[in-house]
Amino acid sequence: MQVRCLSLLALAASLVNSTPSNERKTCTIQASGTNVTDDAPAIRAAFKECDRGGRVVFNPVTYYINSILNITGLQDVEIDIQGKLLWSTDIQYWLNHSMSVGYQNQSTAFILGGDNLEIDGHGIGTLDGNGDYWYEWIRKQPNTSNYPGRPHQITFNGLTNSVVKGVNFLRSQMWTMSIIHSHYSQFQDILVNNTGNRFQSWRVANTDGADTIFSSHILFQNWTVYNGDDSIAFKANSTSIVLKDSRFYGGLGIAIGSIGQLKGVSETVENISAENIYFENTLHSFYVKTWTDDQNGYPPNGGGGGLGYAQNLRLKNLETKGMRGAAFSISQCTRFKGAPGQGNCTNSQFQLRNISIDGLKGTTKSGRVASLQCSAVAPCTDIELSHVDLKFENGTSAKSYLCGNVKENKGWECTGKVCEGGSATGEC
């Protein structure tokens, strides 16, 4: 298959099969049927055999994944997931063997990449990280944010001209999906449910739905995410990305960043659009988080001093139910627990500009429509809000717009001074 992307919204209509399915070499993976036998070697062997113009099939059974999967360089491959991939609960193995994502010292259990791939779960194919064990374990550690070696469930690295559709992701070990160095690809009809059997999803940190890094021309469509952190986050050098027709429950909402974490390194986020998004019991609908200009420690739990900008961020038709914090939040004072020092909350050199939200309605538990803590060194400019109608359950309107170091605002007026303080979640 091949994706000729005339525009992001035309991705789905632009797929052309270069090799018909009935002419492809097919590699059907046989499952062992027991968790004491690792099915990862059989999976690696199937992809090696059918890595060019082939078809790899997961039967409607459970595959036990007891070791890392690093599958890249595929070309024109159909991946048919009818069953479940279930990761083992050997936490010490994963801490010692998870692979580098290539960003923020993060790691992963599964790397998958290639050109012209079609990954189809048909709405039933599932990747299950067995995250309950991780959620229980991480709460007992001194570092509950970014524990070294705690893996993402899957990393798409170097995925181009491809489609991922109809796949369910359950109880991810940490971030569900990191997308890095990937371009002209779409992710549609995806379910992420990181609600543990013993913990509510919004109580589990770092269970992001998806994070983009050094990637462009990506379409996210028809996502449903239950989690306890960023619903979807656009990080360093994410450009020309569309998110639409999706539903987010219990997490933090759509995020830009965190960004500006690497001292002296310039990064950008631009041309991001989100439309027709529903939020229920999330902390925000949309928030931006950048590090200060002071370097306090190193990634993943420290950093600062980064350069660059985020611009042309467009959001339209956002609906909320039971919003827990400011619907729209900016914090340019990101720091995480365990990072030394307090930092200056107004000295970031990373600039935010040209941001618009058109259509923000629904119910909230917070009086803050906006809480914008921007940098005095590089103030936020050209922030536009229109057609805002947020109400408490009793029907009264939320009317608070708190801001600091915001210039050229359009369609709204600041009603008070914002709190200045460190945050990893968008507000003091």
| Residues with active-site annotation | 229
Tokens 């709405």 belong to 123
Backbone angles phi, psi at 45, to 5 degrees: -65, -40
- Counted residue by residue, the chain has a size of 428
* Ramachandran category for residue 330: left, alpha or beta (phi over 0 → left; psi -120 to 50 → alpha): beta
Distance between CA 313 and CA 146 in Å, rounded?
27
Measured in whole angstroms, the distance separating CA 362 from the mean position of its chain's CA atoms is 24
Tokens of 331: 């914090």
DSSP per-residue codes, 139-203? TTSS--SS-TTPEESEEEEEEES-EEES-EEES-SS-SEEEES-EEEEEEEEEEE---SSS-GGG
What letters, b where the CB count within 10 A reaches 16 and e where it falls short, cover 143-170? ebbbbebbbbbbbbbbbbbbbbbbbbbb
Q: CA-to-CA distance for 380 and 373, rounded, in angstroms?
A: 9
Residue type, 192: V
Contacts of 211 by beta carbon, 8 Å cutoff, 6+ apart: 175, 177, 178, 179, 230, 232, 233, 234, 235
DSSP 239: E
Residues 150, 197: Cα–Cα separation, whole Å: 19
121 CB-side CA count, 13 A: 20
